[in-house]
Amino acid sequence: MSKVIHEFNDMIRKLRKELFGKGPERIHTVFVDNMAVSTLYGNLTPTEIFISSTEEGKDMVHSARTKMIQDLYSVAPPEGMEELVGATLVHLFSDIKVKENIAISVFVFDQDIAGKIKSN
């Protein structure tokens, strides 16, 4: 794994740990054109797992997780993320499959990042 991907994943893990009290157990990120696509495994806290045992609870966890992440990134990206990839974050698309405990985030930047990172 490249150093940039490792640092990118660490930023995501740290932010989610601070926000939710637990970061993902594993993150897989790929850079494609102007996007970073991150798949996050093992996201939920024991409390969220318990709450999501009912359909209503699952919906609550899904809504809270996706809204909190999107709201946080709409204010500002994690410190150092834009400098790391050399581009400005313009959009974040994020979703979580509660039952499977898998989340995905698509970070859209204002310019190509994949080409920059390959050339470094």
108: domain CATH number? 3.30.980
In a domain, 120, yes or no: no
pTM for the full model?
A: 0.91
Query: Total structural domains in the chain?
Result: 1
Is residue 45 within 8 A of residue 20, CB to CB? The reply is: yes
In a domain, 81, yes or no: yes
pLDDT in 10s for each residue of the chain, 120 residues: 489 999 999 999 999 999 888 999 999 999 999 999 999 999 999 999 999 999 999 999 999 999 999 998 888 888 999 999 999 999 999 999 999 999 999 999 999 999 877 755
3-state secondary structure of 104: strand
Is residue 12 within 8 A of residue 4, CB to CB? The reply is: no
Cα(32)–Cα(85) distance, rounded to whole angstroms?
Answer: 12
Is residue 103 within 8 A of residue 97, CB to CB? The reply is: yes
